[in-house]
Structure 1
Amino acid sequence: MIDNEQKNYCANLVEVNKKQDVITNQAIYNQQGVLLLSEGSRLDEKRSQILLQHKLMKPLEQCVGIATSMDARTLFDYLNKFAKNLPGLYAVTDNEGYQKTLRLVCLFYEKFPLLRQNLTVLALRARHIYFHGIFSALAGVAIARKLNLSLPDIQATFIAGLFHDVGFLYLEPHLLEKSHSFSADEWKALQAHPLIAQRFLGMVPGLPKEIGIAIIDHHERIDGTGYPRHVFGDKISMVSQIIAATDHIIFNHSRYQDYGVHAHSMLLAALKLSDNIYFESVYNAATILFKEAPPPTETLLQLPSIELLLARQRKLRIQFESAKSLAQQLFINSKSPVIRSVTAVMGRLAISVVRSGILQPEQEDWLTKVGASRSNSENWSLVEISVMQDQIYDQLVHLKNLMERVIESLASDHEQLEHFNSTLDKIDLHETALV
């Protein structure tokens, strides 16, 4: 039977076929050489059921085509339309030099029919992931230009930005929509998406291998705390670091887009708490892009609730202390290689906690006493506190996942494992996310 990844991608193609014809561009055989579908067949639900019963001689992607896949002109026009809706991004894309580079990388993309097919499927089946890819491609090219990278490296950055999350098309459909409260098995599945994306890019004839490497490493961090390979800075490419930075930015943009023109400043505040996990040159280039954007002239209308900020701050403080205690115990009791990542993330989290002030009673006193008649600077302080709480929450999520992996690897007695798991359960991040 066809494997789960191909099964999930096949299901996405069947859904695409309801809007655009998905046609086999060559005959499809199983591994025993038996003809399953002839060339020119439309991939509807009935025919897909035939494929699902067999292991295929060739990957399904190589055997089908979409009636109207996205060409260079369509992509170029959409990229510019997308950028116009984001003032900060538009400020760095609306110039002749950038537009010339953008045309070149779009023409490079058009050389690869499999890329056109896959991007079209993303656009029709996983709209938010498609938007993330569009942003990463646009911002990635801007950062690469700031770093004076070569055209081949800029092309690699563009393609890696577009397709860094394409692996989600091969995962269980419900994972496309879920944003938090993942089970341990779901986290393992999610963390496979860079590997799946690299496998897809590896089957694109003529595509530089560096692009697949950049994608597999876009969740890696210079301190070795990323995934899936836990490699350190000297093993990570510049392109993958650029995509890592753009991925971080667009992830946070989805949180702050309701703040309108002020979202740009909030993204910069979020990026500042992650300055020690990217190459310094990439971090500096990204922050320069933010500073080139025009400052907002509108007054902040939407502000976080002081009561919710206080409640969340107290919860994060308790969870941080629980995480610190558990990390110390695991360091003593575990020889797992993952413990190194736990230590690094714990150290980074401690720095973020100090910089954010959530452990300082003075900040809680200020939140308690600040009145309804606040100055613009006080209003912005509330927003910054909210952003910093989000970043600390994200780091706690990452740390909890790592500690869970360490606990799974322990050969301790039942009582000790029960204690570790009980402490882990106290880090109730689902509750914190909803505050």
Structure 2
Amino acid sequence: MLIPGLPDSVGLAVLEHQERCDGTGYPAAKLDSELSLLGQLLALADSVVAIYFNRLLPYGRGWRDAIPIIERSAQEYLFRAVDLLSALVRRSDLPVASVVSGSAVTDFLQQFHSQHERLQCWFDALKGCLLEIGFTHRDRRLHSLQNVVLHLATAYKGVVAQQPALDRQLVNLMEQPATEIPQDLQDHCLLQLEVVFHLRRLSLMLQQYLAAGGSADELIQSKLEACFGQISGYLEQSVDR
């Protein structure tokens, strides 16, 4: 049904987005890279809305805080769309919220530092196990788990890797009566929460994979079971993050 006054490009974008959402791809069956620019922007905007309501709003964060997150996944969302939406939000009058301020800063930094160390151990355990088993097993479900950990290693390298400079910055801030947190550290905090979300999702995927029977290869199965036993504690702690 045509809507009077609605540009054809907008109608096409809505159609493309609907095809992506319902998973059918009918009738165009386009890849993401083949979508119109408006279609790409609409898909990205939909993701930003989900990120905001599910992972930012509960922590008192604002719309602007979604930008560092989507920029880490610029390749997934197609770079041009990310550039346009980032520029739009940064030039807007949307307020910039602080993660925490005043007397709560010291306790927050201590929790942040502990979470950072826990996150690294969690990621290292998953990465070590999922990459050690190799990629010749011909198990599509297992390949999907490996793809997630490779994406995290690439897109969030500055969060999941060892960060001596960050550790020093945190220690220095905790040793002095800081009343506010530098912007770069606030951005890192948001990205760290995003990585925890993805690690939790990956861990649940591994749990479901094992519950469904796991790998036909006994050696791979035993390694995956040992890995899940190692990370199960992190998974439980992440519920109240």
- After the TM superposition, which residues 44-193 of structure 1 pair with which residues of structure 2 at under 5 Å, given as runs? 150-156=9-15
Q: Provide closer, same or farther for how the CA distance between residues 299 and 398 of structure 1 changes in structure 2, counting only shifts above 3 A.
A: closer
Matched, 1:216 2:216: no
TM-score under structure 1 length normalisation: 0.43
Query: Which residue is 1:311 aligned to?
Result: 114
**In 2, distance between residues paired with 1:405 and 1:243?**
32
- 1:342 paired with 2:145, answer yes
Amino acid at match of 2:139: S
Task: Indicate how the Cα distance of structure 1 residues 272 and 151 shifts in structure 2: closer, same or farther if over 3 A, else same.
Answer: closer
RMSD: 3.7
**Structure with bigger gyration radius:** 1
1:352-363 to structure 2, matched below 5 A, reads 352-356=155-159, 359-363=162-166
Partner residue of 1:272 out of 56, 71, 74: 71
| Counterpart Cα distance in 1 of 2:33 and 2:201 | 22
Shift of 1:312: 1.0
The normalised TM-score by structure 2 is: 0.72
Q: By how many angstroms is 1:253 displaced?
A: 1.7
What number of residue pairs does the alignment pair up? 224
Aligned partners of 1:385 and 1:293: how far apart in 2? Answer: 22
More helix by share: 2
State the partner residue of 1:432: 238
The equivalent position to 2:50 in structure 1, one of 240, 251, 255, is 251
What whole-Å deviation, never above 9, does each CA across 1:211-253 have from its counterpart, x for those lacking one? 3x221349x9xxxxxxxxxx96457786774454234322332
Aligned mates of 1:419, 1:233 — CA distance in 2: 35
Deviation of 1:267 after TM superposition, in Å, equals 1.4
Equivalent residue, structure 2, for 1:302: 100
The letter for the 1-side match of 2:165 is E
Pair 357,346 (structure 1): closer, same or farther in 2 beyond 3 Å: closer
Contact 1:400 1:424 in 2 (8 A): yes
Q: Does 1:282 align with 2:81?
A: yes
Gaps of 5+ in 1: 1-101, 106-147, 161-210, 221-230
C-alpha displacement at 1:336, in angstroms?
Answer: 1.2
Instruction: Give the drift of 1:287.
Output: 1.3
- Where does residue 291 of structure 1 map in the other structure? 90
Residues 301 and 152 from structure 1, CA distance in 2 versus in 1: closer, same or farther, beyond 3 angstroms? closer
Q: 1:342 to 1:238 in 2, by over 3 A?
A: farther
2:172 is aligned to 369
- CA shift for structure 1 position 151: 3.2
Where 2:74 maps in the other structure, the secondary structure is: coil
Contact 2:120–2:160 (8 Å) recurs in 1? no
The letter of the residue matching 1:252 is: I
Provide the C-alpha distance between the structure 1 equivalents of 2:59 and 2:240, rounded to a whole number of angstroms.
19
SS of equivalent residue, structure 2 residue 199:
helix
